[in-house]
Structure 1
Amino acid sequence: MVIDRLKDKYGLIARTSRIQAELAEGAIAGRMVMVAKPQAYMNRSGDPVGDIIRTYGLQCEDMVVIHDDIDLAYERLKIKEKGGDGGHNGLRSLADALGTAAFVRVRMGVGRPDAGIGVVDYVLGEFDADQRLALERFLSQAVEAAEVILCQGAKEAMNRFNRKP
């Protein structure tokens, strides 16, 4: 959802590719970028992202990964420069495929599922009514975080978005 908003906001142009991902490129604040939505579940996203990095000669350190995080309350954003996977299978897949975890993450809090609901069903499920009401603001905040990372760097984004509400 965040990638779609960035594509629309900046008029990023779709790029055809044999890679298992939707790709688009263009400029955000004068900086050329490529955005990608792997066409795989997050926990298997490492292979298509690895293909993108290798095919286009990109550096992992320049990559920003935007992902859900059940360890953060819904609507809470946290920026992290690098680190372990924290039990997140998608981050593990990326680190395994890339051979490094040295990439910036925009962690989007989705909260924990209620008792009796599995994590996979929860993160792939529909938003509840309260979440839908806050979704527009939450997505706008994530877009802004990505913009700050690209224009001013991860440290500035951490200073702005990692504060407790």
Structure 2
Amino acid sequence: MYLVVGLGNPGSKYSLNRHNIGFMACDYWLKSLNGADYREEHKALTKRFKLNDLDVILAKPQTYMNKSGESVISLMNFYKIPKENLLVIHDDIDLPFASMKIHFNRGAGGQNGVKSISQVLGGNEYARLKLGVGRPPHPDFAVSDYVLGNFPKEEMAQMDQYLEAASDAIESFIFDGLTKASTKFNGPVKLT
């Protein structure tokens, strides 16, 4: 069984924030699979389904970003999911918009949801799909204000292509494994 966790903050006022791209990726992937609605369990909105013959749980923690680990550890313990089958999807300001990076066993890089998950898991030994949202426009712009700001229209116009590539990366992680997925998807997304 695989657990794919998208990070974000619950509530409609956050839905188009840069910080919520993990939630956006989950929603896009589920829609592309013709999935039904989420259900609420373990402090998360979840959807359990089969992808070919593999069991997958898609989760969006509803604890707010800095307590995401509470939901993740609860789901992992309940469903007995090993760390190597966990993929956490989140925003990254050190990557330009429409760039991705899949990696394993790295520090949180200031991402509070990742810090929370690493704390409850006792380390960083799990895979992450980092989705680039770019940096604030100038050094005086607070990072928190930037990530809690909405994507501009220009980026929203390209969002479907970006999230489609993220969906492909998620499936590659599940079917091909971490190494092949990172080789194939690390870098900028080809936008048309």
Normalised by the length of structure 2, the TM-score is 0.79
Q: 2:65 aligns with which of 42, 56, 76?
A: 42
Farther off after superposition, 96-105 or 11-20: 11-20
The alignment status of 1:145 with 2:169, answered yes or no, reads yes
> Against the structure 1 CA distance between its residues 15 and 129, is the aligned structure 2 distance closer, same or farther, given a 3 Å change threshold?
closer
Moved over 6 A (4+): none
> Against the structure 1 CA distance between its residues 70 and 163, is the aligned structure 2 distance closer, same or farther, given a 3 Å change threshold?
closer
Q: 1:107 aligns with which of 107, 112, 130?
A: 130
Q: Partner letter of residue 78 of structure 1? A: K
Which runs of structure 2 are paired with 1:78-157 in the superposition (5 Å)?
A: 78-115=101-138, 116-157=140-181
Q: Partner letter of residue 123 of structure 1? A: V
Show the counterpart of 2:17.
none
Q: Is the 8 A contact 1:14 1:24 kept in 2?
A: yes
Distance 1:52 1:83 in 2: 22
Farther off after superposition, 144-153 or 112-121: 112-121
Distance 2:41 2:54 in 1: 25
Q: 2:77 aligns with which of 47, 54, 79?
A: 54
> RCO (CA 8 Å, sep 6+): is it higher in 1 or 2?
2
Count of residue pairs brought into register by the alignment: 165
Distance 1:14 1:101 in 2: 30
Q: 2:182 aligns with which of 129, 139, 158?
A: 158
Which consecutive residues of structure 1, in runs of 5 or more, have no partner in the other structure? none
Q: Report the CA distance between 1:60 and its aligned residue.
A: 1.8
SS at match of 1:107: strand
1:132-164 per-residue CA deviation (whole Å, 9 max, x = no partner) reads: 122111111111100110111111111111246
Distance 1:149 1:97 in 2: 23
Normalised by the length of structure 1, the TM-score is 0.90
Q: Is the 8 A contact 2:68 2:117 kept in 1?
A: yes
The alignment status of 1:8 with 2:31, answered yes or no, reads yes
Q: Is the 8 A contact 2:29 2:164 kept in 1?
A: no
1:73-118 per-residue CA deviation (whole Å, 9 max, x = no partner) reads: 1110011022221222221111001112111111100011123332
SS at match of 2:158: helix
